[in-house]
């Protein structure tokens, strides 16, 4: 046996709920639901539910109100982003300290680890032990010969286990599953694939990449075909991530109806976005205003910004975009995003949901 490159995908188990239990041990074993400000009467969704709460059918993205109704005895907690980020930093530092590890962070609770080893399972176990010892958090590890296979493998290892997915067993394990199980295929894409007669991973893997071009375009068509095969890059990239932009959005507890309210809200969003942008000191090159009208239609308005910017410039242009909002329609959400210039050596996106991997 020789030392060859492997991709490990590390995913913390019920991360947010686990962090909450660490600082409040009496919550262990209880159904915990974390979301919004922890108030089920507000417009908010579930960030994470503990396994005990998931048993009642509660999951991420579910309206908090519904989740609370499903689990009357649940412990409802507000999102505490700082605490999760601090825990996450410790986990990532532990991964980086492993011998030979190249670490690419994907989010608070997951990362790819690239490593040359003869025995990836043993390495994974060692990694789990190190994370547990330093943070008291459990994680699952997917082992793969590509990023996509490693990522998909993790689910089979949960909780706290290890699972290997390579070209050898990919179709045996994944072939019969619906395409929606694939990383990067959601409800909409799986429905469009089904229209083409492609319902399973097997069928997607067998599809001619070019045959998907008319429906999905020159880039995404072939990309979906390769997803079906589990193919793609095997390179874990630890280039530091650089944000392309910063945004803020607010869902109003009661819809806005007055233009003054809208302008005030846009000004506030602009101030918050500027705070993030100025902390990085890179020029703004574009602004996007997102408007969700009640009941639920979304529109965006965008503008490129020539040359550079200053505070007043961004605020004025944000208010300018707000002029596109349809008068008389109740507004339930406003979002403002500022796009910045990028350094040449910046890594490509931190989520591989779109082409390029």
Partner DNA sequence: TCTGGGGTCCTAGGACCC
Q: Smallest distance from the beta carbon of 122 to DNA, in angstroms? A: 25
Residue 110 a catalytic site member: yes
Token reading at 341: 């210039």
3-state secondary structure of 129: helix
Alpha-carbon distance 348 to 351, whole Å? Answer: 9
Q: Which is nearer to DNA, 116 or 300 (CB)?
A: 300
Instruction: Give the distance, in angstroms, between the CA of residue 82 and the centroid of all CA atoms in the same chain.
Output: 17
**At closest approach, how far in Å is the CB of 281 from DNA?**
15
Q: What angle do CA 196, 197, 198 make, to 5 degrees?
A: 95
* SS3 (DSSP) at 226: helix
Report the residue number, 249 or 278, with the smaller CB distance to DNA: 249
Nearer CB in complex with DNA: 99/304: 304
Of 94 and 117, the one with the shorter C-beta distance to DNA is 94
Binding site for DNA (CB under 7 A): 36, 43-45, 47, 60-63, 65-66, 106-110, 182-190, 216-221, 243-251, 276, 286, 295-296, 298-304, 306, 324, 332-333, 335, 337, 348-351, 353-356
To DNA, the closest distance from the beta carbon of 4 in angstroms equals 26
Q: Catalytic pick from 26, 52, 90, 110?
A: 110
Element (H, E) at 69: helix 64-70
CB within 8 Å of 168: residues ≥ 6 apart: none
Q: Report CA 50 to chain centroid distance, whole Å.
A: 18
- Provide the 8-state DSSP code for 346: P
Residue 116 CB, nearest approach to DNA (Å): 25
Per-residue buried b or exposed e for 234-245, using 16+ beta carbons within 10 Å of the residue's own CB: bebbbeeeeebb
Residues 6+ apart with CB under 8 A from 265: 250, 252, 256, 334
Nearer to DNA, 29 or 356 (CB): 356
Q: Smallest distance from the beta carbon of 75 to DNA, in angstroms?
A: 19
User: How near is the Cβ of 169 to DNA at its closest, in Å?
Assistant: 21
Q: What angle do CA 161, 353, 83 make, to 5 degrees?
A: 60
Q: Which is nearer to DNA, 92 or 243 (CB)?
A: 243
Element (H, E) at 228: helix 213-229
* Cα end-to-end span (Å), the chain: 28
Residues forming beta bridges with residue 302, ordered by sequence position: 288
The catalytic site residues sit at: 110
């Amino acid at each position: 046996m020789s030392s060859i490159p492997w991709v490990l995908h590390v995913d913390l188990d019920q991360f947010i709920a686990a962090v909450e239990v660490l600082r409040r041990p009496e919550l262990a074993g209880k159904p915990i639901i974390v979301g919004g400000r922890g108030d089920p009467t507000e417009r908010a969704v579930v960030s994470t539910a503990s396994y005990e709460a998931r048993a009642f059918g509660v999951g991420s993205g579910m309206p908090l109100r519904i989740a609370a109704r499903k689990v009357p005895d649940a412990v409802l907690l507000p999102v505490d982003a700082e605490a999760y980020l601090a825990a996450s930093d410790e986990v990532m530092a532990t991964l980086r300290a492993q011998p030979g590890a190249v670490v690419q962070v994907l989010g608070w609770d997951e990362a790819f680890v690239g490593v040359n080893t003869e025995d990836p399972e043993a390495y994974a176990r060692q990694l789990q032990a190190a994370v547990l010892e330093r943070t008291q958090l459990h994680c699952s590890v997917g082992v793969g010969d590509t990023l996509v296979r490693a990522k998909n493998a993790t689910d089979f290892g949960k909780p706290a286990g290890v699972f290997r997915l390579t070209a050898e067993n990919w179709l045996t394990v994944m072939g019969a599953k619906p395409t929606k199980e694939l990383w990067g295929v959601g409800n909409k894409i799986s429905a469009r694939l089904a229209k083409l007669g492609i319902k399973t991973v097997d069928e997607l893997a067998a599809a001619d990449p070019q045959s998907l071009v008319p429906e999905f375009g020159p880039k995404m068509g072939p990309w979906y075909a390769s997803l079906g095969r589990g193919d793609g890059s095997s390179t874990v990239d630890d280039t530091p991530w650089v944000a392309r932009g910063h945004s803020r959005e607010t869902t109003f507890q009661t819809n806005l109806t007055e233009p003054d309210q809208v302008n005030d809200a846009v000004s506030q969003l602009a101030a918050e976005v500027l705070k993030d942008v100025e902390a990085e000191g890179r020029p703004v090159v574009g602004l996007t205003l997102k408007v969700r009208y009640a009941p639920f239609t979304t529109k965006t308005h965008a503008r490129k910004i020539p040359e550079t910017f200053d505070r007043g410039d961004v605020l004025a242009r944000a208010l300018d975009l707000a002029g596109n909002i349809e008068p008389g329609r109740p507004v339930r959400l406003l979002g403002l995003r500022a796009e910045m210039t990028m350094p040449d050596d910046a890594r490509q996106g931190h989520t591989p949901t779109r082409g390029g991997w």
